Amino acid sequence: MALNNVPVAGQFLGTSRPLINQNFSVIDTAFQVDHVDYNAPSQGKHEKVTLVSNPVPGFLAGEIGLFNQTAAPTAIPDLWLQRGTAAPFPMTGYNNVGTNGWTYLPSGLLCIWGLDTIATAAPLPKAIVFNTAVPSFPGFTTFVGFIGLTRYLTGAPTNSTNFGIVQAYTTAGFSYYGSTLSTNISFMWYAIGL
Q: What's the CATH code of the domain at 142?
A: 2.60.40.3940
CA–CA dist 108, 143 (Å, integer)? 13
Q: How far apart are CA 162 and CA 159, in angstroms?
A: 6
Cα–Cα distance measured from residue 170 to residue 172, given in angstroms and rounded to the nearest whole number = 5
Q: Which of 58, 91, 124 is the last residue of a domain?
A: 91
Quote the domain boundaries for residue 146. 94-193
My answer on whether 150 and 167 are in the same domain is yes
Task: Give the model's pLDDT for residue 162.
Answer: 63
At 161 the pLDDT is 57
Note whether 187 and 119 are same-domain residues: yes
User: Which of 30-34, 54-58, 79-83, 157-161 has the highest mean predicted lDDT (pLDDT)?
Assistant: 79-83
Tell me, yes or no, whether 66 and 134 share the same domain. no
Residues 98, 188 within the same domain: yes
Task: Please give the Cα distance from 90 to 72 (Å, whole number).
Answer: 10
Percent composition of the chain: helix, strand, coil (DSSP 3-state, to 5): 10, 35, 50
Look at residue 62 and tell me whether its pLDDT is greater than 90: yes
| pLDDT of 138 higher than 70 | yes
Residue 41: pLDDT over 80: yes
Q: Are 68 and 78 in contact (CB under 8 A)?
A: yes
Same domain for 52 and 136: no
Question: 62-78: string of b/e by CB count within 10 Å (b at 16+)?
Answer: eeeeebebebeebeeeb
- DSSP for 22-37? HHHHHHHHHHTSSB--
Q: Could you give the 3-state DSSP secondary structure of residue 15?
A: helix
Is 111 in the same domain as 155? Answer: yes
Average pLDDT over residues 75-81: 86
